[in-house]
């Protein structure tokens, strides 16, 4: 398939009287990374939740591989099986081991046998440096290891699209690097990703497309070089100046 993996057209979303997304257009090509940047409250997380149908949009349409997933006749559960999501909170089941957390969805939702799910899960854990932790419980892991496990769990279902929502926000600074290394590895495997992040240097490094959101509008989009070095909008430039002054770019 040569078209975009994800396409949003004129998407609007409000909570009560507060408009969170205003006529958002977005295209994500296969095997690319799109970074969503902007201040807290700009609509980044809501955009991701709409893409996964966790939030119902008020207007517009969303397509996944050319299929309109916001059509009322679409099977939302079937759509979500094709999209992996990792949130700020790890959301691991505390009573399950790392391997059990990783293999739960492949077995229960995708119908893999225990042997198939465990073989795939162990291969991913080994690849991302967690093989030795397979039989540990989440409370025995560092925050970085828990977040890496959450990424492995999302990858274990072989998603068409991976959505990452501020996945380093809850981590101590010294643990951020190990999680970002995993995202680099996943990009190297060709995964299509959309990530909302406050890690500007990382967004500049890893993204093929950067979108700056302000007040629910995609105010600016382009290559990392275009957005970070030659932003067209004063609001984008002002945001980036603050990031530079804070030593985060």
Sorted by where each begins, the domain ranges of the chain are 83-159
* Beta-sheet strand order (sheet of 18-28): 18-28, 6-15, 59-64, 67-68
Q: Given this model, what pLDDT does residue 1 score?
A: 57
Residue numbers of the chain with a pLDDT score lower than 70: 1
What's the token pair of residue 98?
Answer: 């790392």
Torsion over CA: 113, 115, 119, 121 (sign): positive
**Residue appearing with tokens 């057209």:** 9
Which DSSP string do the residues of 47-75 spell out, in sequence order?
Answer: HHHHHTTSS--SEEEEEETTEETTSTTS-
pLDDT in tens, 9-46: 999 999 999 999 999 999 999 999 999 999 999 999 99
pLDDT in tens, 73-104: 999 999 999 999 999 888 899 999 999 999 99
What's the token pair of residue 156?
Answer: 């274990």
3-state secondary structure of 25: strand
Q: What is the pTM of this model?
A: 0.93
C-beta of residue 243 within 8 angstroms of C-beta of residue 249: yes
Instruction: Write the CA distances from 107 to 99, 216, 218, 246, integer angstroms.
Output: 12, 38, 38, 45
Helices 98-108 & 143-155, crossing angle to 10 degrees? 20
């Amino acid at each position: 398939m040569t078209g975009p993996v994800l396409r949003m057209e004129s998407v609007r979303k409000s909570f009560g009287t507060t408009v969170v997304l205003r006529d958002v257009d977005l295209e994500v090509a296969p095997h690319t990374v799109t970074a969503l940047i902007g201040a807290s409250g700009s609509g980044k997380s809501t955009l991701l939740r709409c893409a996964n149908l966790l939030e119902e949009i008020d207007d517009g349409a969303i397509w996944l591989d050319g299929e309109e997933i916001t059509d009322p006749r679409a099977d939302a559960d079937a759509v979500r099986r094709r999209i992996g999501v990792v949130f700020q909170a790890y959301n691991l089941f505390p009573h399950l081991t790392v391997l059990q957390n990783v293999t739960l969805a492949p077995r229960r939702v995708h119908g893999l046998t225990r042997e198939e799910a465990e073989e795939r899960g162990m291969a991913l854990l080994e690849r991302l440096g967690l093989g030795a932790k397979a039989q540990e419980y989440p409370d025995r892991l560092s925050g970085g290891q828990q977040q890496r496990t959450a990424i492995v769990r999302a990858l274990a279902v072989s998603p068409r699209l991976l959505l990452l929502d501020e996945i380093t926000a809850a981590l101590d600074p010294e643990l951020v690097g190990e999680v970002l290394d995993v995202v680099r590895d996943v990009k190297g495997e060709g995964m299509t990703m959309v990530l909302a992040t406050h890690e500007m240097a990382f967004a500049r490094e890893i993204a093929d497309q950067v979108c700056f959101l302000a007040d629910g509008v995609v105010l600016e989009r382009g290559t990392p070089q275009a957005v970070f070095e030659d932003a067209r909008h004063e609001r984008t430039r002002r945001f980036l100046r603050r990031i530079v002054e804070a030593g985060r770019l």
